[in-house]
Copies of this chain bind each other. A is one copy, B any other.
Amino acid sequence: MADVSLKQIIESVLFVSDSPLSLDRLCSILEEFEREEIRAAIDAITADCTSNQRGIELILVAGGYQFRSRPELGDYIRRLKRAKPARFSPSSLETLAIIAYRQPVTRAEIEYLRGVDSGGILKSLLDKKLIRIIGKKDIPGKPLIYGTTKEFMETFSLKDLASLPTLREIEELADSGDDTDQVLLPLDGVE
């Protein structure tokens, strides 16, 4: 198969995949190629999409590469899809934000931060696979702990968790005397 280039191979593989493919994954599929060659081909495809007025672009999301339609074409695609575009209620976004930034986190912690019962929202986020049960926390009552999923990163076009938008830091309370980490919640016994 000397007449096809690595760029063509990678384009076709990424094209048919229904989920983002990491560089590692591509390297293991295309074992006869060097990692550096593969990386260079990906860069070339990315550049082609940008410069050649294409309708799709290659992006890095959830640790993998995926072709996606260009955001400015969303309007036309929605005509095709007819289905209601994904919508998130403020409460589910709030809950997701807390889980994303504080994971692993328990339901009690989420509810303390939001000030409201969040069971129904957790259930629906679990159903949508945006969050998952990571395990149980080793404290009395062994509450479930939650974290975000790959689907969460895919949905919000995040390269990885570290690329979550950074938040304005909370200024320490003036004169409050205690400089506890904001990671600690006064939750003991709240369960």
Contact = CB atoms under 8 A, between A and B. Distances in A.
Interface residues of A, number: 69
B177 A165 contact: no
A169 interface: yes
B178 A55 contact: no
Nearest to A29: B79
Given A54-B8, A56-B15, A157-B135, A176 B83 contact: no
A40 to B, nearest CB: 15
A89 to B, nearest CB: 6
Contact of A69 (B12, B28, B117, B133): B12
B17 A80 contact: yes
